[in-house]
Chains A and B, each alone.
Chain A
């Protein structure tokens, strides 16, 4: 398999997952803010921090209003991590590797991109926000389902699987970040709503039901973290994503270095006591995990996409 094709498939998968998870992430913030008492000034800028879009947003003209921030994370083409940019990049990667992917999936990706592009200038007003974002989540889920259900599970598929799981692992840490940053925010005293917020995080990851099935008592922050970080069975939990990465790497040639990198992140997570992860410790931990995941990406790139002479 050509490195270029592998790289495009991997990025196609990452961008699709990114579009889905960014939608989920905006939904968490949206739901939390709806629950806040009216006396509290909602802080939308937090979204920019979590999505790593702070600097690029500040560099552009226009104030940090809810409307501006929403269009920036949803449809701004200049924003390298907006949903629009992710879908455009997914589509471009797919367009140039169509010959190895089932053709119906190309049609789905293309029409998802076109439907988002069509409403790009409308922004994301509160009235339609839930419907639009949920629609994106559903479409991307449908695309992953088609890929999983109609493709040879060969080397090509392993690159899809790696892209999806690495991006998902990263985005799960960012969605947890939304909650932890909100709790640490002095402007917005949300401690009375702590449980509500963690429920909202679980729901945005479609994890609430699975959490209740596997954790037999009330929603408590440490248990939620334990579930989202260390559960091996829930597909959006960090541990599960890392196990999936490991499985793919074992099926690919020359996967040793990459495997070691993933296993080391995994050990780090297993060693962490979730009960101690509160406030700044949690933020620091999540930042660290994000950096380590970036490291895994770099090894993947060196191993399969840019082989040395």
Chain B
């Protein structure tokens, strides 16, 4: 892990402060750093940032960070954590030093992300219809049979354009040699895009000078792109579609985002009890003007809770009849019920094969090498090398229920090994990657911290990929856990065109 001498300390008040930040003292060690290529030298796309901060004292930089923290409080950017039986709104943690990716590299990643989403949507559509991929034995049938995310109720459904996952968030990580990998796909209800937008708004407030130095791709059109994607699913084309964002409610950890997106799109933010499905199998919302027809639902609630008639009968978050209305084509639902079958972490290992099968192309962005515990040989390998593995349950998100080998105790590994032996289908493992780092303000010094990237990809009638995405950073030294619910922070992500003036 990073050497502690890598830290750049704030000048002591008794010495004369050095004029600016000395980047030659910053050393990420063996890791790939997103900003600094070798001690004191910036990567091409980050030259503006590095030369700008060279003229800045750490004190000055810290005061910008304080201004950002204040802006975040004033703008009410928060996320909710559940602890000690209470919901607490926490201010969103953002580090002002941006993460920078050159446009040229991004263009390739963008193609790779679209390729992935297109192939995965074809795959989901095939699974619920002809099941060619199973008949051709590219994917073993048992995997689908044992997947809790495969919804029999969806068999035969034909959502518009054959698209099931309209909003996808794929997590990208960079290894020590600079290669970007897809770590996982989130095809159900990926969150974080509002923080990407807010991070940009904050950087523009506190580091406006840098926006003159760099040619940074804007991100602000996401809400209107999302609106267009959703509008293209309306069963009444031509009309002004009535779009709603469906939230489980104020207690959900992503409630801020639900309200934010509804506001930015000019859509109503609804809960399950605000909707009603009529005898005509159409969806209506209860308004002070009476019942009004709903055309498209951007749901931020899991399949299980969506419709108590079809899924969990005791769900009070959903709306009875929603599924029926969707099957009849009377309402668009994004993402479609059942789309989660493809973000199973076991399916993940087959994505390269899936891309090859449906598109006859090689994957542009590689997968992290993965071991499926259901395979006896793989399982033995994983159990033998637990110390160097990251083991994940097939169907959890938010970083819960994981084992991070290098950071685990012997006791934790033994417990985990027992769990894997008991239910191998439920686990997959990947070698612990040396995640890339970027300079981050920690206390009053700049230190390397590990990060990942979640871009958001939209597919309806057309495609759209956010310019960059949400960079999440593990704020604890050496930590690889970036989830905000577990002490992660974030950074603004800049896609910088080095060839433009």
Contact = CB atoms under 8 A, between A and B. Distances in A.
A3 B250 contact: no
Contacts of B269: 99
B33 interface: no
A96 B276 CA distance: 21
Interface string B280-297: 000001111111000000
Nearest to B288: A304
Given A2-B270, A95-B250, A253 B288 contact: yes
A268 B270 CA distance: 40
Contacts of B285: 2
B286 A96 contact: no
A150 to B, nearest CB: 16
B263 A99 contact: yes
Contacts of A121: none
Contacts of B249: 96
Interface in B228-264: 249-250, 259, 262-263
Contacts of A4: 271, 273-274, 286
Nearest to A255: B288
Nearest to A1: B288
Interface string A241-262: 0000000000011100000000
B76 interface: yes
Nearest to B270: A2
A152 to B, nearest CB: 14
A96 B250 contact: yes
Q: From A253, A254, A309, name the one whose CB has the most chain B CB atoms within 10 angstroms.
A: A309
Nearest to B284: A309
Contacts of B273: 4
Given A2-B270, A4-B273, A99-B269, A253 B289 contact: yes
A215 B271 CA distance: 52
Interface string A280-309: 000000000000000000000000101101
Given A103-B76, A155-B288, A254-B289, A309 B278 contact: yes
Interface residues of A, number: 17
B184 interface: no
Contacts of A95: 250
Interface residues of B toward A: which range? 20 to 34
Interface of B is mostly: mixed
Contacts of A116: none
Nearest to B262: A99
A274 B271 CA distance: 49
A99 B271 CA distance: 14
Contacts of A252: 288
B268 interface: yes
A6 interface: yes
Contacts of B288: 1-3, 6, 155, 252-254, 304, 307
Q: From B262, B271, B287, name the one whose CB has the most chain A CB atoms within 10 angstroms.
A: B287
A304 B268 CA distance: 17
A294 B305 CA distance: 36
Interface in B279-327: 285-291
A6 B274 CA distance: 12
A309 B286 CA distance: 9
B422 to A, nearest CB: 42
A40 to B, nearest CB: 48
B290 A254 contact: yes
Interface of B: 76, 249-250, 259, 262-263, 268-271, 273-274, 276, 278, 285-291
Complex A-B, nearest 8 residue pairs according to Cβ-Cβ distance, in ascending order: A3-B286, A304-B288, A307-B290, A253-B289, A96-B250, A99-B259, A6-B288, A1-B288
